[in-house]
């Protein structure tokens, strides 16, 4: 369907308490090719009609008994689901035009009607309305695609964790402050140290590291990589145990970022590669 066909197929509601005005606008729209034109002379019915039909455009007279056009617009704003008020007001009062636009009307048609001007304003308003709906549908489709992709990524992340945990002796995650948020595997038993020294300040832990037999240069290099948020693959470090035996470990890690590219921490895996293990 072309844009012009879509415009002529749009649903329009005429609201005016004067029968002559309703008949004039109905004939005008019919002659222009519009196929779905409804009318009412009762402003109190407008909200119920719009909830049921979801009109693309409402031609609304401002001066009506019982409920004027301003009250109708306020009622429509509280009931319209998409937050867009598809109203062109009909008025013979120049002072009402600005007030109507401030109240949410999208345009106005002056009385008595200039038929060419009225057709042009109606056509232009419907074109804008249909483009707005297309954009809204596109945004909804985009949100759905993002939601589905996010679910896929979460599932992929879960599989990644499962596989890395199976393929390694331990798996860890840290937050942006360096605090460990997830540790799996026998880290404490394997390393024989607190988890903290993997990212702790070298000066504060120098004594405990040396006492535990770690190679200080290797440990500092590992800390520096994490502090600089650099990825590293198969980084080797070792320790000499008090009985003289040597343990060697291989670790890989990478920084993590959220959807806004903000650093949120580190994750990695490690294995013991001590010979004869």
Share of the chain above pLDDT 70, in %: 83
pLDDT at 192: 44
User: Helix, strand, or coil here: 256?
Assistant: strand
pLDDT band, residue 233 (cuts 50/70/90): confident
Of 28-32, 166-170, 222-226, 258-262, highest mean pLDDT: 28-32
Most confident of 26-40, 71-85, 182-196: 26-40
Domain containing residue 38: CATH number:
3.40.50.2300
Same domain, 7 and 127: yes
Beta bridge partners of 233: none
Which of 116, 68, 67, 66 lies closest to 90, judged by CA?
68
Both 99 and 134 in one domain: the answer is yes
Residues 115 and 9 in one domain: yes
> 206: pLDDT confidence band, cut at 50, 70 and 90?
very low
181 in the same domain as 109? no
Count Cα neighbours of 149 within 13 Å in the Cβ-side half-sphere: 7
- 202 in Cβ contact with 224 (< 8 Å): no
Q: Are residues 219 and 97 in the same domain?
A: no
**Last-in-domain residue among 124, 141, 158:** 141
3-class state of residue 74 by DSSP:
helix
Cβ neighbours, 10 Å, residue 248: 16
231 and 136 within one domain: no
Task: Identify the CA nearest to 44 among candidates 17, 21, 23, 81.
Answer: 17
Among residues 252, 249, 251, the alpha carbon closest in space to that of 274 is found at: 249
127/224 same-domain check: no
Exposure string for 78-106, b = 16+ CB within 10 A, e = fewer: eebeeeebbbbbbbeeeebbeebeebbbb
Task: Report residue 78 as tokens.
Answer: 């509280």
Q: Cis peptide before 188, with omega less than 30 degrees from 0? A: no
Q: How far is CA 221 from the centre of its chain?
A: 40
Residues 101, 195 within the same domain: no
Q: Are 17 and 44 in contact (CB under 8 A)?
A: no
> Any residues with CB less than 8 A from the CB of 51 and at least 6 apart, and which?
79
Domain match, 175 and 137 both? no
Answer yes or no: do 103 and 205 share one domain.
Answer: no
Using an 8 Å Cβ cutoff, are 104 and 75 in contact?
no
Say yes or no: 124 and 176 in one domain: no
Tell me, what CATH number does 237's domain have? 3.30.450.20
Collect all residues with Cβ–Cβ distance below 8 Å to 119 and sequence separation of at least 6. 28, 32
Please indicate, yes or no, whether residues 34 and 137 belong to a single structural domain of this protein. Answer: yes
Q: How many angstroms separate the CA atoms of 12 and 55, rounded?
A: 6
- How does residue 200 score in pLDDT terms, banded at 50, 70 and 90? very low
Look at residue 187 in the predicted model and tell me its pLDDT. Answer: 58
pLDDT at 161: 62
Q: Tell me the whole-structure pTM to 2 decimals.
A: 0.54
Residue 85 pLDDT > 90: no
The answer to the question of residue 30 being in a domain is: yes
208 closest CA partner among 221, 222, 191, 224: 191
Residues 6+ apart with CB under 8 A from 269: 164, 165, 167, 168, 170, 171, 172, 251, 252, 253
Map tokens 């197929």 to a residue.
9
Asked if the structure places residue 150 within a domain, the reply is no
- CA 36 from chain center: how many Å? 35
User: What average pLDDT is seen over the chain?
Assistant: 82
Residue 264 included in any domain:
yes
Least confident of 26-40, 164-178, 230-244: 164-178
| Chain segment 50-76, per-residue pLDDT in tens | 999 999 999 999 999 889 999 999 999
148 part of a folded domain: no
Q: Which of 103-107, 166-170, 178-182 has the highest mean pLDDT?
A: 103-107
Task: Kindly report which listed range (141-145, 193-197, 238-242) carries the lowest average pLDDT score.
Answer: 193-197
Show the domain range for 210: 168-272
Number of domains into which the chain is organized: 2
Residue 107 forms part of a structural domain: yes
């Amino acid at each position: 369907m072309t844009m012009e066909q879509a415009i002529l197929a749009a649903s329009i509601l005429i609201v005016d308490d004067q029968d002559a005005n309703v008949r004039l606008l109905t004939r005008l729209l019919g002659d222009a090719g519009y196929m779905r034109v409804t009318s009412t002379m009762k402003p109190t019915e407008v909200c119920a009609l719009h909830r049921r039909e979801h009109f693309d455009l409402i031609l609304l007279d401002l001066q009506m008994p019982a409920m004027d056009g301003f009250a109708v617009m306020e009622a429509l704003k509280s009931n319209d689901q998409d937050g867009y008020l598809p109203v062109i007001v009909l008025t013979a009062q120049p002072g009402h035009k600005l007030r109507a636009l401030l109240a949410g009307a999208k345009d106005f048609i002056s009385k008595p009607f200039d038929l060419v001007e009225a057709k042009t304003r109606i056509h232009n308003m419907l074109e804008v309305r249909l483009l707005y709906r297309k954009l809204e549908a596109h945004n909804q489709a985009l949100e759905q695609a993002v939601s589905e992709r996010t679910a896929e990524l979460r599932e992929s992340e879960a599989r990644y964790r499962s596989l890395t945990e199976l393929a390694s002796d331990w798996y860890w995650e840290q937050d942006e402050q360096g605090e460990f948020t997830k540790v799996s595997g026998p880290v404490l038993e394997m390393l024989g140290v607190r988890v903290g020294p993997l990212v702790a300040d070298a000066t504060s832990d120098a004594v405990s590291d040396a006492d535990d037999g770690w190679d200080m240069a290797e440990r500092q290099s590992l800390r520096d990589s994490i502090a600089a948020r650099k990825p590293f693959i198969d980084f080797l470090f070792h320790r000499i145990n008090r009985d003289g035996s040597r343990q060697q470990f291989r670790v890989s890690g990478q920084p993590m970022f959220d959807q806004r590219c903000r650093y949120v921490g580190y994750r990695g895996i490690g294995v013991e590669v001590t010979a004869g293990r």
